[in-house]
Every structure is written in C-alpha cells, then in structure tokens.
Amino acid sequence: MAEAGGTQTAIELAGVSKHYAGKAVVRGVDLSVRRGERMVLIGHNGAGKTTLMKLMLGLTHPSRGSVRVLDADPATAAAAQRRAIGYLPESVAFHGAMKGREVLAFYARLKGVPVRECAGILERVGLEQAAGRRVSTYSKGMRQRLGLAQAMLGQPRLLFLDEPTSGLDPTLRRQFYDLIDSLSLSGTTSLTSSHSLNEVEGRADRIAIMKNGVIVACGTLSALMRQAGLPIMVRLRIADGHTARVAEQLAPLGELRRVNDHGVELSCLGTTKMILFRRISELGEAVEDMDVMPPRLDDIYNHYMENAQPQ
C-alpha cells in the first residue's frame, strides 16, 4: 500500500474481500488514498468497482479485511464523520414534482446543513437559473449536476463518484470534471469509479485498475506505463531524399513501423527513448518534424486486462 497514517490518509483498505452467496466479488484489495488526492478506479462492468465503493461508504460490510475512511470504520462512524462524506451514485433519482432548490433543501436538512448554503451550491454547479423549475423538466446533465450539488452539501472532505458522467455529452463531461478539479484544489479528496478511460486520463492523480474483483495495478499514469512496459511511438517527417538513410540509422534503436517517401514511424521502450532522441537530434536538417505519442490510458488498460496477474 501507499502511505499509512491517519493524518495523511483519507481511505485505507487492507485485505478487503466481499462475498455474495459464496461468490467472491472483491478479493484481497489493498488500497490507500491520500488526503486531497484524485483517485480514479477503472475496470470492466462487474469488476467490483461499485461493491468496493459501497464498502467504503459503509453500505455493506467486508467479508474479510478492514476498511478505514477518514480514520473511522464507515459502517459505524459517527454522524459528524458521515457528514464529511459526499456520494453521487451512478443513477440519480429525484422526485420530479419537486423544484431543484426544494430537492437540495431537503437533502440539506437530512445532512444537518443550513439551507442557506443551497443557493451558492446551485450557482456553483450552474443550476441557479433552473432552481425554480421542477426536476421533471431537467435534462440528464442537469439532474447529474443536481446530484453533485447534494454530494457537495456541507463542504465534504471526501467525495465518492460512481460513474458520474454516464450519459452526458462531451461538453457536459468536461464541465463536470472541471468542477471536480476545483474541489480538489480546495483540499477535497475524491474517488471516482469510471469506465470512460479517455475522459479520466488527465483528471486523476493516480489510477487503480480493477479486474475480476482484484486491483491489478495502481499508480500515476506514467508509473502504469512504465510497469506495463509499453512502447512509445515516434513519428518523423523527413526531408526529401533522406528517408532511407534516417531509417537505416534509427532501426537499431526501435522497431520500424512504417517508412515512406515522407517519413518514418517507429516504436521504442521508455528505457531507450533518450538515446533515440539524441540520435534524432544528430540527424540535423534531415528531420523536419517529430511527434512523440506515449501509450494512452486505454492501451495501458487493455494490457492489464489481457496480461496482468492479480498482485
């Protein structure tokens, strides 16, 4: 696991397993999330992401292992401790006859938060103009933002977000994650479960990959790339008449993928990339341009889904 110590850790799981009807849904999970960190949990449908989140919320008990959230067992935590946690489920459902501000006021009273805070939160999620409308008139994106608003009540220190952008268009997804990023800057820890790899790629401090109830890899994007041993792609635009010479000189440093009259494309491992870059710089004006394409998160994810054994 990563860091220990309650002062630095928002979530600490040790050897956590969960069985339903004799079937293991989560198996031996160790996970540590630092305070203020943006952790993203990715995996296939049925990987155990939602079950793991329910364990961290205290909605269900582990069959084995221990769960600590904000220095307490979430299943028995005091009310004040639970108020420091916000949760946005994958499917949000509000009473359609209620107005947006009424819904948020209802949840504020449940959470013991002054109702006067609701107006500022509705403005922050972009619903101030729609606060007086009935929820039945809201679009999917507006309902999702109202769900985030209720999760933000009381300025929680920890947010759990289960597939928070499911069904949203790309613009709304970006706006949603911009808001999560702003909360992170103010010190809020977030754990987001998602299977939308491209949208979380640049929105996480660390990523945990889950497969068949087990976390098979966890780290920063660059650390996961190194662990997976995936190559980077280098694409060069070559001056007329120099392609064959460039390809010949670079071939020992990587795998040539494509050579034509205008360029060379090759792949190399991260351990040799600096040697390759120095060799390219020595080619002078023969190389007119260069693009470097590291593996994307979906490449890393596919690698672990196909090859990785549980840790």
Please write the tens of the pLDDT for every residue from 29-43. 999 999 989 999 999
Confidence band for 270, pLDDT divided at 50, 70 and 90 = confident
- Other beta carbons less than 10 A from residue 74's beta carbon: 22
Please write the tens of the pLDDT for every residue from 160-173. 998 888 767 787 78
Alpha helix locations (H) across the chain? 49-57, 79-83, 100-111, 118-124, 140-152, 170-185, 197-200, 221-228, 243-250, 273-282, 297-307
Q: Which domains does the chain have, with CATH numbers?
A: 1-84+156-228+296-311 (3.40.50.300), 94-145 (no CATH), 231-294 (3.30.70.1710)
Q: What is the pLDDT of residue 145?
A: 87
Judged against a pLDDT cut of 60, whether residue 6 lies above it is answered with no
pTM: 0.82
Q: What is the pLDDT of residue 106?
A: 95
Spatial contact of 267 and 234, defined as CB atoms under 8 Å apart: yes
Q: Which of 124-138, 232-246, 249-263 has the lowest mean pLDDT?
A: 249-263
Q: 3-state class of 127 per DSSP?
A: coil
Q: What is the pLDDT of residue 195?
A: 76
Judged against a pLDDT cut of 90, whether residue 291 lies above it is answered with yes
Percent pLDDT > 90 in the chain is: 51
Q: What is the pLDDT of residue 63?
A: 94
Q: What is the pLDDT of residue 7?
A: 57
More confident residue, 308 or 5: 308
For residues 190-219, average pLDDT: 89
Judged against a pLDDT cut of 60, whether residue 140 lies above it is answered with yes
Please write the tens of the pLDDT for every residue from 72-112. 999 888 777 888 899 988 878 899 999 999 999 999 998 88
Tell me how far the alpha carbon of residue 121 is from its chain's centroid: 23
Q: What is the pLDDT of residue 266?
A: 92
Range 116-120 contact pairs with CB under 8 angstroms and sequence separation of 24 or more? 117/153, 117/154, 118/149, 118/153
